[in-house]
Every structure is written in structure tokens, then in C-alpha cells.
Structure 1
Amino acid sequence: MIDFLSKVPLFSNLNNDQLTSISNICSKKSFRSGTILFHEKELGSVFYIVFNGSVKIYTKATTGEEKILSLFKSGDSFGELSLIDGKPRSASAQTLEDSVLIALDAKHFLELLKNNFDISLCIMRELCNRLRDTNQHVYDLTFLDARTRVIKSLIKLANKNGIRNGTIITIKMMLNYDEVSQMAGVQKPILMQVIRDFQEKEILMFDGPAMKLDLAKLRG
């Protein structure tokens, strides 16, 4: 646990004694794929770090339509906002595959922030990054056409979840096409048209459950 925590960006500046203290107040929990970790508008009581697997953060409209806000993988943390301001969860969280998460309850999380300025600063930076991402997404929905939004979403998936080998990025497809279209803010037929176009130009290739994106051909 300590070796893993030392590699988590949130705790990277801490010494072994501090990491040991954190390890002592954390618990590791396993969740099956599709497990709802918390719902939007419920009170928050747990802060999570992804040990392995992946999690999506999303909101749902009254019509039932989902909008994916973020994807988290190993080393990423989430669930802090509700614990900090005491207000209900601003979004829901669900595992995309069988996952193991490190959980920290609200009391210990707030004590951790109080006693470790480095962690508090990292949390503030992460919240700032998410606000910037939100602002950028609003800009994209306002000013970019649907095709460009799809391309940008595929690149974002590649950058965050892909493994690069030269100009080829291999992405393990944790999302289905409906979820990718929700993330891009486009209708599914538009997403499928872009994917077919990319396949014809050999920009995008599928290898079983994985997707390969050729950056050289994309830029060309």
C-alpha cells in the first residue's frame, strides 16, 4: 500500500512516516464492473483513489440521458468536493470494469488536509484543473462542430488512458459507443460516421477490445 501511495500524485511529496499514517487510515475495497459508488445529490462520506481498474464520473438528466464528465484510472482520486464543502455529490460515480479502490472516510480525509499542507495544495490544484476542463468543455460545446468534438474526445481518451508506441496509441475501450458519444456531446450516428471515416483512412484500427489511434495519420 505504501509503495502505491508514494506514486499517487496527491501524496508524492510525503515521507515514509506520513505515507504510513495515511495507509493506516485507508481501506482497500474491491468492486465489480458497473457498481455505483455514489449517486448525484446524495451526501458524501468517502474519498476514493483508484488502485486498479477505472471509474466514470457522470450526471444524468431527468430524461435518463447520461453525460460523462471524467474518467479515472490507477492513481487518480475523486470524491473530495462533497467532503470539503459539505454539500451533496455533484455527480455520480460508477466502475467501468472490476476495480480495486482505496477508500478514506470524511473524518480522516479532512484531518489529512488539516495536517498536511502539501496534500491540501494538491487537492486545490486538482480542483482548479477540473474547473479549467469544465470551462474548456463549455467552450467546445459552444464553438466546435460535432466532428471536431468527437476527434477531441478520442484524443483525450488516448492521452489519459492510452499506451503510446511511436505514433500509435493503444486505448483499452472501457466505454461503449453510447458513452463516447455522451462524452463528446454528439449524437451516436455522428460518432459512428467519424469512426468509419477514420477506419477508411487507417487513422483508427480495432484490435479485439482495444482501439489503436495513429497520430501521424491523424495530423496528416
Structure 2
Amino acid sequence: MKPELQERIQLLRSVSFFAALPEKELSEIAVWSSRNSYKKGEIIVRAGAPGKGLYLLIAGRADVSVKAGGEEKNVGVLHPGELFGEMSLIEERPRSSNVIAAEATDCLYLDARIFLEKMALHPEVMIDLLKTICRRLRQTVEELRGF
């Protein structure tokens, strides 16, 4: 197995819900993934763009923002080990927010078709992903209460 593929498998396994997947499934996801680097200020995900995959932030930091009242509002910060882009993937709708590299950032991009195929075989992993989405939604609601 190529070192690059082994690295991707290790990165995926570092995310709690991917850790539950058998090695074969992880390998298949890793084969269809790609590692991408972004410079500070570079847009990783643009609001309104089609969601054809999800991302695992593996190095650096990224800001999440939405346009509200004609201005861009920062609604969160992503750190290594966090996934993003999953809402568009599940809803099959355009991206809901911008994700911009706050510093030099590396991400692993996971193809939607392969990801969803594997999740269908392992519903327990999809449940963990839904828990992650619910946690983020709860955090957003709590932050909005503070405004």
C-alpha cells in the first residue's frame, strides 16, 4: 500500500465515526479522497456552490461565515479533525456557508458518492455523523441566543 494512501486512512481513522468502519471500507473512501492545500484567505467552500463531497480539516484553521443583512458574519472556526460540508451532502442542497482558510490549511476531500455508499452499509456511522450535525446546530442556536 502506498504511503500516501496509508496516511489518508490514518487521517480518516482519527475521526471518531470513521474509526468504526472496517479497513476495507476506509481504504475505498481513502482511494477516492484527495488532499488539498489552501493559502490564508483562500476560499475552501463557497456558499451556494453544489455540495459534491465533504472535507476533513487536517492541518491549519478555517473560518465559517454566512452572509446576513448584507454583510459577512463569522459563525464558527474549524480545527484539525473536524468535518465540514456534510449538510449539503445529506440534504443534496447547495452549500450554506463559506469556509475560508484562516491560515495555511490542508483538507482531505471526500467524494460524496463513495461516502454515501459506505454510510448506507454502516448506518451506525451515519448516526454518529448526525450527532455531529445536531451538536453544531445546538451550538449555533446557543450563540444566536447571545445576540
TM-score (norm 1): 0.59
Q: Cα 1:23–1:70, aligned 2, differ >3 Å: closer, same or farther? A: same
Q: Is the 8 A contact 2:43 2:100 kept in 1?
A: yes
Match of 1:6 in 2: 13
Relative to its length, the structure with more helix (as a share) is: 1
- Structure 1: runs of 5+ lacking an equivalent: 142-220
Match of 2:80 in 1: 74
Q: Is the 8 A contact 2:25 2:118 kept in 1?
A: no
RMSD, aligned CA? 1.6
Match of 2:108 in 1: 102
Q: Sequence identity of aligned pairs in percent?
A: 29
* C-alpha displacement of 1:36: 0.7
CA distance in 1, matches of 2:110, 2:10: 17
1:7-46 alignment runs, 5 A limit? 7-46=14-53
Q: Is the 8 A contact 2:57 2:80 kept in 1?
A: yes
What SS does structure 1 have at the residue aligned with 2:11?
A: helix
Residue identity matched to 2:63: K
Q: Cα 1:123–1:36, aligned 2, differ >3 Å: closer, same or farther? A: same
Q: Cα 1:133–1:41, aligned 2, differ >3 Å: closer, same or farther? A: same
1:158-169 alignment runs, 5 A limit? none
Residue identity matched to 2:104: D
- Structure 2: runs of 5+ lacking an equivalent: 1-7
Q: Which has the higher relative contact order, 1 or 2, with Cα contacts under 8 A spaced 6 or more apart?
A: 2
CA distance in 1, matches of 2:101, 2:115: 22
